[in-house]
Amino acid sequence: MADFGIGVPDELARLSLGNGAEQQASRAPDMNSAGIVAVDITDRFSLAVKTLEPGELVKDEFFTLFESVGALEIMDPKMDSGCIKPGDEFEELYDVRQPLLPEEVLGIIDQLICHEMSWHLGYPLSQTLFTSVYVEALSMPNPVGIEQAIFVRDPKDKSNDQPMLQVLRAYCLGLLKACGYVNERVRAEHSYEEEDFVTNTYNRTLLANVPTDAIRAAITEAKGLLQKLRSDSGHSYRAEVIDALEVRLELRDIFLQATECPQYIKEPNLAQIPWQQGISLLPALKSTHHLCKPVDDSFSAKLQRKLASTIPPRPIVQLGFDDAFENLTRLFQDGLEIIGVLQYTDTQCLQACVSALQSKKPQPLVYVRTLLQTFLFDAMEVLGSMSIRQLIDDDLSIITLPASPLLDRANDEIEVVHDPRFIVSQQMEFFRQRAAQPFLDILRTLCQNRCRVRRTLCHTVRAWDNLQVDAEEVDQVVQAQLKESPLSHMFLDATQHADSLPLSLSSWAYFYKLRQMEWIVQLGFELEVYQGDELAGMYWYLNYLAKCRLRHLERIKSFTVRRAEEIRALKTHENVYAGLQTRQLERSLSFVRLSLLDAAATWELSDALSCLYTVLGRLGLVKPPGRPYSNDEFRYELRMKPFASIGLPELPSFEDFTAGTKQPGTSTDDILEYCERSLMGAKRAFETMTRLPPAESFSVGSHERWLGTAKNALKSCIAAGLVVKTIQVALRKREKADLKFKVEIPTPDKAYHDWWLIPKLTPLP
Amino acid sequence: MAQTAEPPQELHFVQYNHSLEAQYLPAIRALISKDLSEPYSIYVYRYFLCQWAHLCFMALSPVDGSLVGVIICKLEVHAVHSTPTRRGYIAMLATASPYRGRGVATALVKMAIDAMAVRKADEIVLETEEDNLSAMRLYERLGFLRSKKLHRYYLNGNSAYRLVLLLRSVDPDSSPGLGEGAITE
């Protein structure tokens, strides 16, 4: 999925990539060899340089933008982190031994929470947590055990014993260890370094060598200290501040447990506990924030000088506590929610669940998204217990192969090489191996940030195009075998004409390819990729794709229905699998019903919106910019680039696209009338969908979100209907003058639904 | 047609060349760094200016010849994905604030596009910050489309849009030749 950049920001991002947890210090090469004769070239160099103009570039062909971006100008304070302003000190002089008030410890902790969340949001440790002198004191030199992880590295130094410093230390230990877990998780799964998250630790280990148990013990100990202080009257500490500190230590302990939740992948109820505990503790964190006394001095950008990095000094990221708290709350809520995917029902519910979670706004944080990937794919098993074969077979049995002999595990037992079942088993295994990657990639892709989802789909759709071709070959081999086999009676009708061949595997691949093509267009709306005057065309193309899906689903349905009839005919006789087969067929029929409804709704609503934007274009209410350097045909080529190489469905010609978008032969009144009818159709389809129970809408585990989305689509239909009415009324009343409206196309965050952008009309005086 | 007002008549538009470095590079850097969270080193500028001086244009004040606006570009064969293309890239564009809203940037972009079109660019691309609506409007008025959104593209955490202007149909069967490398004439 590599996508090399071309601009300066791309290269800046690549600069800080190379890092390991612990890097070897570089050493000068050993020059004491008999074969090496050193020659001083200073004079020759000076002479040669004199022949150059100042600023002339001397470079070989390997000097790229990357190298030029990597160059630093020494003594420029903005680039050279070692450059010290006159009167300033190189070292940060803050003394970690100084006594702290409980309010100050609270202030430091809450600032650390802000920095921790900034890191989760994608900023590097160098500009967040690693600007804390306390974090630095615990991190360097790298402690090899808990006893070394103290602020003052002299165990005899009494300042370590101050209760408030012990509380702060316990908090920081829990914080750094949790960050270590988070970093490991993010590195292990697929995400985009720098754009999603920065895993660089600049030679710090995040306490990799300190055991978690020891850290949890230190937290418990510190909590004990606070309890002692609470009952001790020999100090002036306020009880509410002591309580607030305890809440924060408790949260650290819970977060550590939460980061270890993948070990309970087979026991979702246990995995959920720390996330639930965190959620119930969070209000107490927020309500005590006002007790803080900030200690700004204990954070310094100067600490960046100590980090193993060549990047220029960058400012400390400032995230407000309220923002940080909101993100922290989201982290716990989303963390809890994703554990829901472990309650597996079937592949379609799983996809719906992942998709619903990932389309949340704002999207779950990277850590949650990578945790979800761990649940989905850890150790080549899906959701901790299913093989990829189970997953693919389950999906095939829902979409195109219900109650099919192709998925019969007994085929694997046949050893006679000429037996058709042996060949079918072999072919199916070949197909699974071929399909596994693209199939799992759908889930993996959905776990990425939304921009990447769209970009990645533009690549995966081509992989599915190829898969479909390969699948068709397998289909034909399998078909030929089954014709001769004892299983052939199941397909007798189907083999009568080529047209009626089920081609189940390629049909499955085609279904997914169409879905992905629709997603690319729909995400284009969500990510505001299209300009106002492009909407008529993009909804027209979405309509084209939905139509293809609908027709394809009708084809799939006819085979499922026929299969159901065959099984029914067998039932009374000797079919021992009748119960299981009937259940599978019912599930497939439910799925095809849902998909037909969804495709029809998409067809009708995209048709209506394409018409609506065509009318707005005609009336001059949505105007295209001048575009002196472009023409319609080039822009069509550019827009359709992701789809141009796809064999089926064929890319509509530019002429068809233009005719479909402009509708030259149709009057505006007729278009609006047609638009109304389409909206009615879309509304009916969405209404029917919203009445489906979770099992029939394949949204077990995410039904509420699924229903919410369907209802929002329904609202979009109603809103679009009102706009059509407004235009119709205005057109009827209109004398010769133009319609006086201001048209606003809402951004997705202001629309009912990210994918259905309904224009807003405001009458002008 | 683009409804931008014509740039002030009196401005001088000049194609950059190396002999102007001492006079204008400090001003170019100052103008461009204003909008950057982190300055580019002088080598970044020289990387572009020394190789593609013919794709860099400056708008100068007629009064004192001071820099009012600048555009910096490159043009190379791009072959990371699929069909290799001759891809122009607008790397930097800036106008001094007192001169904004007067079409200076549009005039500079047009000069750059024309220069790249003469050198047979297939397409011209650039990135712009997602909330820089005026820049997007400028490019979109000329014919650019947003092709993709780039998540957290900039150091400040902002996302970007990649904008693309297709200048000629890109036929997958005819490539401009991979061996050519950078065009540095």
Average predicted confidence (pLDDT) for chain A? 91
Average predicted confidence (pLDDT) for chain B? 88
* Distance of residue A510 Cα from the nearest chain B Cα, in angstroms: 23
Distances (CA, A) of A636 to A642, A671, B86: 11, 23, 19
Q: Which of A627, A633, A646 to mutate to test the interface with B (most CBs of B within 10 A)?
A: A627
Lowest-confidence region among A537-541, A593-597, A637-641, B79-83: B79-83
Distances (CA, A) of A554 to A401, A592, A727: 15, 8, 36
CB A298 within 8 A of CB A101: no
Same domain? For A427 and A547 the reply is: yes
Taking an 8 Å cut-off on Cβ atoms, the answer to whether B146 and A530 are in contact is: yes
Q: In the predicted model, is pLDDT for residue B2 greater than 70?
A: no
Q: Which of B1, B25, B47 to mutate to test the interface with A (most CBs of A within 10 A)?
A: B47
- Please give the pLDDT value at position A728: 95
Long-range contacts of A561-565 (CB under 8 A, 24+ apart): A561/A589, A562/A493, A562/A494, A563/A402, A563/A403, A563/A404, A563/A490, A564/A402, A564/A589
Percent share of chain A, pLDDT over 70? 93
Q: How confident is the model at residue A292 (pLDDT cuts 50, 70, 90)?
A: very high
Q: If contacts are CB pairs under 8 Å, which of residues 147-206 in chain A contact chain B?
A: 192, 194-196
- Please give the pLDDT value at position A81: 78
Q: In the predicted model, is pLDDT for residue A22 greater than 60?
A: no
- Please give the pLDDT value at position B6: 55
- Please give the pLDDT value at position A19: 46
Q: CB-based contact (8 Å) between B178 and chain A? A: no
Distances (CA, A) of B154 to A122, A123, B161: 11, 11, 11
> SS3 sequence, chain B?
CCCCCCCCCCCEEEECCHHHHHHHHHHHHHHHHCCCCCCCCHHHHHHHHHHCHHHCEEEECCCCCCEEEEEEEEEEEECCCCCCEEEEEEEEEEECHHHCCCCHHHHHHHHHHHHHHHCCCCEEEEEEECCCHHHHHHHHHHCCEEEEEECCCCCCCCCEEEEEEECCCCCCCCCCCHHHCCCCC
Domain contains A255: yes
Q: How confident is the model at residue A383 (pLDDT cuts 50, 70, 90)?
A: low
Highest mean pLDDT range out of A184-193, A318-327, A336-345, A737-746? A318-327
Radius of gyration over every alpha carbon of chain B, rounded to an integer in angstroms: 16
- Please give the pLDDT value at position B3: 42
- On chain B, the residues whose CB falls within 8 A of the CB of A78 are 38-39
Count CA atoms closer than 13 A to A751's CA, side-chain side. Answer: 24
- Please give the pLDDT value at position B10: 84
Q: CB-based contact (8 Å) between B155 and chain A? A: yes
Q: CB-based contact (8 Å) between A313 and chain B? A: no
Beta bridge pairs of residue B59: B13, B69
What's the rounded Cα separation, in Å, for the pair A181 and A116? 13
Q: Which of A197, A453, A638 to mutate to test the interface with B (most CBs of B within 10 A)?
A: A638
Q: CB-based contact (8 Å) between A9 and chain B? A: yes
Contacts of residue B78, defined as CB under 8 A and 6 or more positions apart, other chains included, come to A6, B84, B85, B86, B87
Q: Token match 């769209």: residue?
A: A454
What's the rounded Cα separation, in Å, for the pair B102 and B48? 26
Q: How confident is the model at residue A569 (pLDDT cuts 50, 70, 90)?
A: confident
- Please give the pLDDT value at position A346: 94
> SS3 sequence, A467-494?
HHHHHHHHHHHHHHHHHHCCCHHHHCCC
Q: How confident is the model at residue A251 (pLDDT cuts 50, 70, 90)?
A: very high
What's the rounded Cα separation, in Å, for the pair A675 and A705? 28
Buried b (16+ CB within 10 A) or exposed e, A99-127: ebebbbbbbbbbbbbbbbbbbbbbbbbbb
Same domain? For A403 and A299 the reply is: no
B25, B43, B169: residue with CB nearest A637: B169
The gap between the terminal CA atoms of chain A, to the nearest Å, is 52
Taking an 8 Å cut-off on Cβ atoms, the answer to whether B46 and A122 are in contact is: no
Please classify residue B151 by burial: count the beta carbons closer than 10 Å to its beta carbon, then call 0-12 exposed, 13-18 middle and 19+ buried: buried
Q: Which residue intervals of A71-162 are DSSP H helices?
A: 102-121, 133-139
- Please give the pLDDT value at position B176: 46
What's the rounded Cα separation, in Å, for the pair A565 and A562? 5
Q: Token match 């001769």: residue?
A: A484
- On chain A, the residues whose CB falls within 8 A of the CB of B158 are none
Domain contains A96: no
What confidence tens digit (pLDDT) does each residue in A34-88 have?
777 889 999 999 999 898 887 788 888 888 888 888 888 888 888 887 888 888 8
B22, B149, B153: residue with CB nearest A9: B153
- Please give the pLDDT value at position A571: 60
Domain of residue A171: give its range: 102-307
Buried b (16+ CB within 10 A) or exposed e, A338-363: bbbbbebbbbbbbbbbbbbbbbeeeb
- The whole-number average pLDDT for the span A303-314 is 84
Q: Of the candidates A307, A334, A351, which is a domain's last residue?
A: A307
What are the structural domain ranges in chain B?
A: 12-180
Same domain? For A455 and A600 the reply is: yes
What's the rounded Cα separation, in Å, for the pair B167 and A516? 29
Q: In the predicted model, is pLDDT for residue A2 greater than 90?
A: no
Beta bridge pairs of residue B46: none
Domain contains A41: no
Taking an 8 Å cut-off on Cβ atoms, the answer to whether B47 and A78 are in contact is: no
Q: In the predicted model, is pLDDT for residue A7 greater than 80?
A: no
Q: CB-based contact (8 Å) between A362 and chain B? A: no
Q: Token match 């013990």: residue?
A: A217
Q: In the predicted model, is pLDDT for residue A208 greater than 70?
A: yes
- On chain B, the residues whose CB falls within 8 A of the CB of A625 are 2, 137, 140-141, 143
Select from A518, A517, A514 the least CA-distant residue to A551.
Answer: A514
What's the rounded Cα separation, in Å, for the pair A179 and A177? 5
Q: CB-based contact (8 Å) between A638 and chain B? A: yes
- On chain B, the residues whose CB falls within 8 A of the CB of A530 are 146
- Please give the pLDDT value at position A572: 62
Q: How far is CA A653 from the centre of its chain?
A: 34
Same domain? For A278 and A407 the reply is: no
Same domain? For A403 and A300 the reply is: no
Q: How confident is the model at residue A378 (pLDDT cuts 50, 70, 90)?
A: confident
What's the rounded Cα separation, in Å, for the pair A237 and A102? 7
Q: How confident is the model at residue B35 (pLDDT cuts 50, 70, 90)?
A: confident
Q: Which of B150, B165, B173 to mutate to test the interface with A (most CBs of A within 10 A)?
A: B150
B110, B126, B141: residue with CB nearest A627: B141
Same domain? For A481 and A602 the reply is: yes
Buried b (16+ CB within 10 A) or exposed e, A696-717: bbbbbbbbebbbebbbbbbebb
Select from A643, A616, A626 the least CA-distant residue to A726.
Answer: A616
Q: Token match 């080193």: residue?
A: B41
Number of folded domains in chain A? Answer: 2
- The whole-number average pLDDT for the span A384-402 is 91
Domain contains A258: yes
- Please give the pLDDT value at position A737: 62
Same domain? For A522 and A625 the reply is: yes
Helix (H, G, I), strand (E, B) or coil at A198: coil
Percent share of chain B, pLDDT over 70? 86
Domain contains A539: yes
Q: In the predicted model, is pLDDT for residue A379 greater than 70?
A: no
Taking an 8 Å cut-off on Cβ atoms, the answer to whether B154 and A9 are in contact is: yes
What's the rounded Cα separation, in Å, for the pair A461 and A520? 9
- How big is the A-B interface in CB pairs under 8 Å? 154
Percent share of chain B, pLDDT over 90? 75
Q: Is domain B12-180 classified as CATH 3.20.20.70?
A: no
Q: In the predicted model, is pLDDT for residue A470 greater than 70?
A: yes
- On chain B, the residues whose CB falls within 8 A of the CB of A651 are none
Q: Provide the residue type at A105 as one letter.
A: V
Go through chain A and tell me how many residues it has: 765
Same domain? For A107 and A254 the reply is: yes
Q: Of the candidates A291, A307, A323, which is a domain's last residue?
A: A307
The gap between the terminal CA atoms of chain B, to the nearest Å, is 33
Taking an 8 Å cut-off on Cβ atoms, the answer to whether B150 and A195 are in contact is: yes
CB A689 within 8 A of CB A594: yes
What confidence tens digit (pLDDT) does each residue in A738-763 have?
788 999 999 999 999 999 999 999 99
Taking an 8 Å cut-off on Cβ atoms, the answer to whether B146 and A628 are in contact is: no
Q: Of the candidates A638, A661, A690, which is a domain's last residue?
A: A690
Same domain? For A552 and A421 the reply is: yes
- On chain A, the residues whose CB falls within 8 A of the CB of B172 are 645
- Please give the pLDDT value at position A73: 82
CB B170 within 8 A of CB B141: no
- Please give the pLDDT value at position B5: 52
Q: How confident is the model at residue A422 (pLDDT cuts 50, 70, 90)?
A: very high
If one compares A659 and A311, the residue with the highest pLDDT of the two is A659
Taking an 8 Å cut-off on Cβ atoms, the answer to whether A54 and B42 are in contact is: no
Q: How confident is the model at residue A235 (pLDDT cuts 50, 70, 90)?
A: confident
Taking an 8 Å cut-off on Cβ atoms, the answer to whether A9 and B21 are in contact is: no
The tokens of B28 are what? 């170019």
What confidence tens digit (pLDDT) does each residue in B11-21 have?
999 999 999 99
Q: How confident is the model at residue B36 (pLDDT cuts 50, 70, 90)?
A: confident
Longest dimension (CA), chain A: 101
Q: In the predicted model, is pLDDT for residue A218 greater than 90?
A: yes
Q: CB-based contact (8 Å) between B173 and chain A? A: no
B43, B147, B148: residue with CB nearest A71: B43
Domain contains A270: yes
Q: If contacts are CB pairs under 8 Å, which of residues 293-312 in chain A contact chain B?
A: 312
What confidence tens digit (pLDDT) does each residue in A267-287 have?
889 999 999 999 999 999 999
Taking an 8 Å cut-off on Cβ atoms, the answer to whether B147 and A638 are in contact is: yes
Domain contains A635: yes
- Please give the pLDDT value at position A441: 94
- On chain A, the residues whose CB falls within 8 A of the CB of B168 are 634
Domain contains A329: no
Q: If contacts are CB pairs under 8 Å, which of residues 110-139 in chain A contact chain B?
A: 121-123
- Please give the pLDDT value at position B184: 34
- On chain B, the residues whose CB falls within 8 A of the CB of A538 are none
- The whole-number average pLDDT for the span A514-525 is 98
What confidence tens digit (pLDDT) does each residue in A109-127 have?
999 999 999 999 999 999 9
Same domain? For A261 and A399 the reply is: no
Q: How confident is the model at residue B38 (pLDDT cuts 50, 70, 90)?
A: confident
A3, A123, A450: residue with CB nearest B157: A123
The tokens of A516 are what? 């992905």
Same domain? For A292 and A407 the reply is: no
Strands B160-166 and B145-150: antiparallel
The tokens of B169 are what? 């149909």
Q: In the predicted model, is pLDDT for residue A3 greater than 70?
A: no
